[in-house]
C-alpha cells in the first residue's frame, strides 16, 4: 500500500505553518524556502510586496507551493482512505493545508470584487463544494474540528480580499512598508489565523482600530484595506454574499465638518431636531452593515462632546440619533485616524483618555516617506511609477523616468518629504506640467528649520553646529526637532534615534520654548 512517508509528513508540517503565516511577514519567505528547497526562486524582496510591474501571480514560488501542497493533500487523502492511520496533529495539519489548496483553487484567480458578485460567486461556490466534499470525506477527520463548507468559503474569500487590498494599497519594499502591511493583516485576522477562523471572525468588528502617522502617509489607504476586508457571512440559500457587501467602507473627514454636521452625518437625526431638519435622516452608523466599517479621519480634532458619544458607540455599541431617545445598535467596525500627538492632546485636555484607550487596543502607525526611502532608496522609482500611472496613463513610464531623474538630481536622497506621499504626488504633477518642482519650504529663502533641500540649502542650526556655535545639548535638541519634523510623532522619532520618547519630547519642548 502506498503510504505518506516521514519526509512527506515533515513537509506537511511546513505547509501547515505556511498556510497560517502572515503572508506579508519575513517569516513567510523563510517558510517558502523550506517548502520548496532547491526549487525556491530567490528575489530581492525581504517580504511579499507589490512592485509596479509585478502582479501577485507572477511570483513563481506561489504556484509551485500551491501545486506541491495540492499533490500532498491528495496523497494524504488517498492513503487515509486506504487505511493509513494518522495522529490528531497530522490530521489538523492536513486540514490546514487543505484550506490553503482550496484558497488557491477557488479564490485567488478572481478579483476581490468579482467573488462578491452573485454570478461569479455561485460558480466558484459550486466548484468549492465538490472539492470540499472530497477532502472532508475522511472518516479519520471526525477526530478534529473542521469548519462547515459555507463558513470556510467565506473565510477563504475574506483572506483573498484582505491580501489583495493590502498588496495593492500599501506599496514599497522598505522595512517600514513591510511592517505596515504585516500590521494591517493582523488588524484583520490577529496574529493567530486558526483562532480567528474558529471564533474571532464574528468578534473583530467590535474592536476599533486607530491609525496614526504623519499627514500624507496613506492612513486612509490602510483604513480602506482593513475596512474592505471584514468577514462577510455566506448565504447558502442564495449561494452568494449579501448585496450590501460591495462598497461597505464609509469614510468621513471630520476636519471638514462642523460638530453639528458631524453628529448628524454620523448618528442621524429626526425631523425637527434642529433648524433645517425637515425629514428624518439615517446616519452612517445606521447605514453601515455588520461587515462594513466607518472610517473617522482626523479623529483627533473631534469635539469633546462628540467624543463622549463616540465612546458610547465604541464601548457599548449603541448610539442615539439627534432629536431621538431610542437606542440603536451599531454592528460595524470603527476605524479612526489622526496625525496629531494624542498624548499631548490628552495632556492638554483636548482628547479623552477613556476614548483613547478604547481606540488604541489595535493601533497602527504609518511610516513617513523619508523613513521608507532612507531604509530602501529603491522604493522611490517604484512609488514615482505608481503616481505617474495615475497622472499619465499610457505614458506613465516616460513621466516616471523624467520625475525620478529630476528628484535624484535636484533633491537628492536626504530630502525630508515633509508632505510624504501627498507631496510626492504634487512633485510628480509639477514636473509633468513645468518640468521642475519647488518645495514649499524652499520658497522662503532656503527652507524651514525642519526641511532638507538640494545641496547647499541647510537649516540654520546645521550651519551653527558646523561653526561650533552650539552646545552638545542644543545640538541634540535641534536634531530631535528636525527628525520629529520628518516623522511627525514623538514615538517614531524616539525609535529612529534610539532614545526614550520622554527625552525626545523634552528636547523638542526646549526648542519650542525658545521661539
**pLDDT tens across 456-510, in order?**
445 667 878 888 888 999 899 989 888 887 777 788 888 889 999 889 988 888 8
Categorise residue 184: left if φ over 0, alpha if ψ from -120 to 50, beta otherwise: alpha
pLDDT band with cut points at 50, 70 and 90 for residue 454: very low
Boundary (domain end) residue, out of 313, 334, 365:
365
The answer to whether residue 466 sits within a structural domain is yes
By the 10 Å C-beta count (0-12 exposed, 13-18 middle, 19+ buried), 281 is classed as middle
C-alpha 456 chain-centroid distance: 38
* Total number of domains in the chain: 4
Whether 133 and 182 have beta carbons less than 8 Å apart is answered as no
The answer to whether residue 1 sits within a structural domain is no
153 plus 166 within the same structural domain:
yes
Return d(Cα 375, Cα 33) in angstroms, integer: 24
385's grid cell: 511609477
112 plus 182 within the same structural domain:
yes
Boundary (domain end) residue, out of 337, 365, 393:
365
151 plus 25 within the same structural domain:
yes
Query: What is the average pLDDT across 164-188?
Result: 93
**pLDDT tens across 17-36, in order?**
999 999 999 899 999 999 99
384 plus 352 within the same structural domain:
no
Q: What is the model's pLDDT at position 458?
A: 59
235 plus 182 within the same structural domain:
no
34 plus 102 within the same structural domain:
yes
The answer to whether residue 106 sits within a structural domain is yes
Pick the residue with more confidence: 445 or 497?
497
Q: What is the model's pLDDT at position 51?
A: 54
Whether 292 and 227 have beta carbons less than 8 Å apart is answered as yes
258's grid cell: 462642523
pLDDT at 153 over 90: yes
490's grid cell: 514623538
Q: What is the model's pLDDT at position 25?
A: 92
CA distances from 10 to 14, 17, 34 (A): 7, 11, 10
pLDDT at 453 over 60: no
Q: What is the model's pLDDT at position 441?
A: 52
Listed as own residue / partner, the contacts of 493-501 with beta carbons closer than 8 Å and 24 or more positions apart are 496/371
Q: What is the model's pLDDT at position 505?
A: 87
DSSP alpha helix (H) spans, 170-267: 175-189, 193-198, 219-227, 259-267
CA distances from 187 to 23, 63, 107, 163 (A): 13, 27, 22, 12
61 plus 169 within the same structural domain:
yes
450 plus 464 within the same structural domain:
no
Which of 147-151, 285-289, 433-437, 456-460 shows the lowest mean pLDDT across its residues? 456-460
Return d(Cα 123, Cα 50) in angstroms, integer: 29
pLDDT at 315 over 80: yes
pLDDT at 438 over 90: no
pLDDT band with cut points at 50, 70 and 90 for residue 274: confident
pLDDT band with cut points at 50, 70 and 90 for residue 515: low
Return d(Cα 76, Cα 87) in angstroms, integer: 12
Return d(Cα 1, Cα 57) in angstroms, integer: 37
Residue 336 DSSP code: E
The answer to whether residue 41 sits within a structural domain is yes
pLDDT at 113 over 90: no
263 plus 335 within the same structural domain:
yes
Cβ-Cβ contacts under 8 Å for 440 (sequence gap 6 or more): 419
51 plus 184 within the same structural domain:
yes
The answer to whether residue 81 sits within a structural domain is yes
Q: What is the model's pLDDT at position 359?
A: 93
CATH number for position 278: 3.40.50.300
325 plus 388 within the same structural domain:
no
Whether 49 and 129 have beta carbons less than 8 Å apart is answered as no
Phi and psi dihedrals of 296, rounded to 5?
-105, 90
What domain range includes position 387?
A: 376-455
pLDDT at 307 over 80: yes
Pick the residue with more confidence: 463 or 316?
316
Instruction: Give me the chain's average pLDDT, please.
Output: 89
Query: What is the average pLDDT across 374-378?
Result: 89
Percent of the chain with pLDDT over 90: 65
The answer to whether residue 495 sits within a structural domain is yes
**pLDDT tens across 59-91, in order?**
788 889 999 999 999 999 999 999 999 999 999
**pLDDT tens across 200-226, in order?**
999 999 999 999 999 999 999 999 999
47 plus 185 within the same structural domain:
yes
486's grid cell: 520628518
Give the number of other Cβ atoms within 10 Å of residue 402's Cβ: 17
> Considering Cα of 106, then 108, then 109, then 115, what sign does the dihedral take?
positive
Q: What is the 3-state secondary structure (H, E, C) of 388-422?
A: HHHHHHHHHHHHHHHHHHHHHHHCCCCCCCCCHHH
Amino acid at each position: 500500500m502506498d503510504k505518506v512517508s516521514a519526509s512527506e509528513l515533515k513537509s506537511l508540517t511546513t505547509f501547515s505553518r505556511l498556510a497560517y503565516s502572515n503572508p506579508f511577514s519575513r517569516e513567510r519567505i523563510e517558510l517558502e524556502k523550506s517548502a520548496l528547497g532547491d526549487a525556491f526562486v530567490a528575489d530581492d524582496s525581504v517580504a511579499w510586496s507589490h512592485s509596479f510591474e509585478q502582479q501577485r501571480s507572477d511570483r513563481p514560488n506561489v504556484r509551485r507551493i500551491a501545486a506541491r501542497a495540492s499533490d500532498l493533500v491528495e496523497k494524504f487523502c488517498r492513503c487515509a482512505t486506504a487505511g493509513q492511520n494518522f495522529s490528531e496533529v497530522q490530521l489538523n495539519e492536513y486540514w490546514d493545508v487543505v484550506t490553503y489548496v482550496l484558497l488557491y483553487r477557488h479564490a485567488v484567480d478572481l478579483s476581490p470584487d468579482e467573488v462578491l458578485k452573485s454570478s461569479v460567486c455561485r460558480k466558484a461556490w459550486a466548484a468549492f463544494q465538490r472539492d470540499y466534499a472530497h477532502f472532508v470525506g475522511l472518516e479519520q477527520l471526525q477526530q478534529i474540528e473542521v469548519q462547515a463548507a459555507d463558513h470556510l468559503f467565506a473565510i477563504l474569500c475574506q483572506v483573498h480580499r484582505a491580501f489583495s487590498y493590502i498588496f495593492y494599497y500599501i506599496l514599497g519594499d522598505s522595512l517600514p512598508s513591510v511592517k505596515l502591511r504585516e500590521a494591517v493583516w493582523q488588524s484583520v485576522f490577529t496574529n493567530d489565523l486558526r483562532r480567528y477562523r474558529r471564533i474571532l471572525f464574528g468578534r473583530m468588528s467590535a474592536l476599533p482600530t486607530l491609525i496614526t502617522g504623519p499627514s500624507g502617509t496613506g492612513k486612509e489607504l490602510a483604513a480602506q484595506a482593513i475596512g474592505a476586508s471584514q468577514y462577510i457571512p455566506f448565504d447558502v440559500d442564495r449561494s452568494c454574499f449579501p448585496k450590501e457587501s460591495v462598497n461597505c467602507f464609509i469614510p468621513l473627514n471630520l476636519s471638514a465638518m462642523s460638530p453639528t454636521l458631524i453628529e448628524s452625518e454620523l448618528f442621524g437625526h429626526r425631523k425637527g431636531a434642529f433648524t433645517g431638519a425637515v425629514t428624518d435622516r439615517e446616519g452612517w452608523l445606521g447605514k453601515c452593515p455588520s461587515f462594513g466599517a466607518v472610517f473617522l479621519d482626523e479623529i483627533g480634532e473631534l469635539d469633546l462632546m462628540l467624543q463622549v458619544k463616540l465612546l458610547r458607540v465604541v464601548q457599548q455599541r449603541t448610539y442615539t440619533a439627534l432629536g431621538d431617545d431610542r437606542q440603536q445598535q451599531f454592528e460595524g467596525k470603527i476605524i479612526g485616524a489622526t496625525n496629531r500627538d494624542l498624548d499631548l492632546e490628552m495632556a492638554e485636555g483636548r482628547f479623552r483618555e477613556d476614548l483613547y484607550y478604547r481606540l488604541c487596543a489595535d493601533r497602527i502607525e504609518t511610516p513617513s516617506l523619508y523613513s521608507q526611502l532612507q531604509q530602501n532608496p529603491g522604493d522611490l522609482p517604484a512609488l514615482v511609477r505608481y503616481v505617474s500611472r495615475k497622472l499619465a496613463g499610457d505614458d506613465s513610464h516616460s513621466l516616471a523616468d523624467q520625475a525620478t531623474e529630476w528628484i535624484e538630481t535636484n533633491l537628492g536622497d536626504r530630502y525630508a518629504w515633509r508632505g510624504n506621499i501627498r507631496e510626492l504626488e504634487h512633485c510628480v504633477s509639477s514636473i509633468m506640467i513645468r518640468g521642475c518642482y519647488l518645495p514649499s519650504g524652499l520658497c522662503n529663502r532656503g527652507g524651514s528649520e525642519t526641511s532638507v533641500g538640494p545641496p547647499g540649502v541647510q537649516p540654520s542650526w546645521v550651519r551653527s553646529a558646523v561653526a561650533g556655535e552650539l552646545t552638545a545639548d542644543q545640538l541634540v535638541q535641534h536634531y530631535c526637532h528636525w527628525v520629529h519634523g520628518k516623522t511627525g510623532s514623538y514615538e517614531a522619532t524616539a525609535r529612529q534615534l534610539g532614545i526614550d520618547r520622554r527625552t525626545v519630547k523634552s528636547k523638542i519642548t526646549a526648542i519650542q520654548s525658545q521661539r
